[in-house]
């Protein structure tokens, strides 16, 4: 089968590889229906990389598929079931798993990053990471489940109330999901910081009240004008903007650091956190929120269709990657 294989130093090569087979009793063979290119994939392909990955692995951790075959120990799935994949495989036995925070698992590995993922016609995954979806849910929307589950996990911690004033730094795919979730939650104003005019358009369509280009305008001044004292909640969806977040949040406000960049370093004035009684929290991947994300997608509460800018066959995956590098794409969905 054709697969998109990460071969180190920014190289993603299309090559023929063997069709995978079930080797463990708890595994499931999937026919991949759709997979998408994530910002994490882009950081893996940076030189130097902004995110680690295993050389020789088939990329894509955002994918959906149909069950073709199940291992002898699998009872909850059958041939023909449609599923989405939680790519994070946790051990269930370490201290953090037993605390109920499996996203902190000491032995975690990830499909599409460290183990073969969805940029191929077929994939093998453990049954425990699969979630059934409606037969009617189109694959292009189902691929949003993984990123949306991460956003849902973060918004559950933030507890944004109707009328609260929110700022989102970055209007990439994740930032846009935050905007749509905050809009659905009844946020009073949603101010977005984004340097790309292309992405700014999607931010407005997703529910932003105002989009500010921080390279052209004074973000801190504008946020204060719009909110008087600053934003109740600020989300850094980029992974490098903690100082900007601290500059625009109100005293007693909440900052969520969501975006990831392994190369990012920032100096902050710690006393500003203390004297302003800021709550600064990180949110890493997903914690028991896949079922909620599936319900949100199937109920059509969010308008995810408008975020899909490219639908490409696997043979054209590099066109999708190039469009994302140029900032000319939001969500690129690949059909193997």
Encode pLDDT of 45-73 as tens digits: 999 888 899 999 999 999 999 999 999 99
- 27 and 71 fall within a common domain: yes
User: Is there a contact between 279 and 255 (Cβ–Cβ < 8 Å)?
Assistant: yes
Q: Does pTM surpass 0.85?
A: yes
Encode pLDDT of 120-148 as tens digits: 999 999 999 999 999 999 999 999 999 99
CATH number at residue 261: 3.40.50.720
The model's confidence at residue 14, banded by pLDDT at 50, 70 and 90, is: very high
- The whole domain housing 276 covers 149-282
Residue 292 lies in a domain: no
- CB within 8 A of 243, min separation 6: which ones? 266, 267, 268
Q: Which residue has the tokens 């589950």?
A: 149
> For the residues 160-165, what does the mean pLDDT come to?
97
- 52 and 124 fall within a common domain: yes
H helix count then E strand count, the chain? 11, 17
CATH number at residue 54: 3.90.180.10
Q: Which residue has the tokens 């599936």?
A: 294
Using the predicted structure, report yes or no on whether residue 261 has a pLDDT greater than 80. Answer: no
Q: Supply the pLDDT for residue 265.
A: 85
- 139 and 197 fall within a common domain: no
User: Is there a contact between 27 and 127 (Cβ–Cβ < 8 Å)?
Assistant: yes
List, as own/partner pairs, every contact residues 194-198 make where C-beta atoms lie below 8 angstroms and the sequence separation is at least 24, other chains included: 194/170, 196/171, 196/327, 198/327, 198/328
- 66 and 83 fall within a common domain: yes
The model's confidence at residue 15, banded by pLDDT at 50, 70 and 90, is: very high
Using the predicted structure, report yes or no on whether residue 267 has a pLDDT greater than 90. Answer: no
End-to-end CA distance of the chain: 9
Mean confidence (pLDDT) of the chain? 96
Domain count, the chain: 2
Encode pLDDT of 4-13 as tens digits: 999 999 999 9
Q: Supply the pLDDT for residue 186.
A: 96
- 95 and 160 fall within a common domain: no
- 9 and 135 fall within a common domain: yes
- 324 and 276 fall within a common domain: no
Residue 29 lies in a domain: yes
Q: Supply the pLDDT for residue 50.
A: 82
Encode pLDDT of 308-334 as tens digits: 999 999 999 999 999 999 999 999 999
- 11 and 121 fall within a common domain: yes
Residue 296 lies in a domain: no
Residue 295 lies in a domain: no
Q: How far is CA 89 from CA 104, 108, 160, in A?
A: 11, 6, 30
- 275 and 176 fall within a common domain: yes
């Amino acid at each position: 089968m054709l697969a998109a294989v990460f071969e180190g130093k920014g190289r993603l090569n299309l090559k023929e590889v063997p069709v995978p087979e079930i080797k463990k009793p708890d595994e499931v063979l999937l026919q991949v229906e759709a997979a998408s290119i994530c910002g994490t994939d882009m950081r893996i392909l940076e030189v130097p990389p902004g995110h680690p990955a295993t050389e020789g692995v088939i990329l894509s951790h955002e994918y959906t598929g149909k069950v073709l075959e199940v291992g002898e120990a699998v009872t909850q799935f059958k041939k023909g079931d449609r599923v989405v994949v939680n790519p994070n495989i946790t051990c269930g036995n370490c201290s953090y798993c037993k605390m109920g925070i499996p996203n902190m698992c000491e032995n975690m590995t990830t499909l599409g990053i460290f183990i073969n993922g969805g940029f191929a016609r077929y994939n093998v995954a453990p049954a425990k990471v699969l979630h059934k979806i409606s037969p009617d849910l189109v694959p292009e929307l189902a691929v949003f489940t993984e990123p949306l589950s991460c956003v849902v996990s973060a918004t559950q911690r933030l507890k944004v109330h109707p009328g609260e004033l929110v700022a989102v730094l970055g209007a990439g795919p994740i930032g846009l999901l935050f905007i749509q979730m905050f809009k659905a939650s009844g946020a009073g104003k949603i101010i977005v910081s984004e340097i790309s005019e292309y992405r700014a358009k999607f931010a407005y369509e997703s529910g932003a009240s105002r989009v500010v280009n921080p390279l052209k305008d004074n973000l801190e001044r504008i946020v204060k004008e719009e909110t008087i004292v600053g934003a109740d909640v600020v989300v850094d969806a980029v992974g490098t903007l903690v100082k900007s977040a601290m500059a625009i949040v109100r005293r007693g406000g909440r900052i969520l650091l969501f975006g990831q960049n392994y190369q990012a370093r920032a100096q902050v004035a710690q006393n500003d956190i203390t004297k302003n009684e800021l709550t600064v929290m990180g949110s890493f991947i997903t914690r028991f929120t896949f079922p909620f994300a599936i319900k949100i997608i199937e109920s059509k509460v969010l308008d995810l269709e408008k975020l899909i800018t490219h639908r490409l066959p696997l043979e054209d995956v590099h066109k999708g990657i190039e469009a994302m590098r140029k900032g000319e794409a939001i969500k690129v969905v690949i059909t193997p």
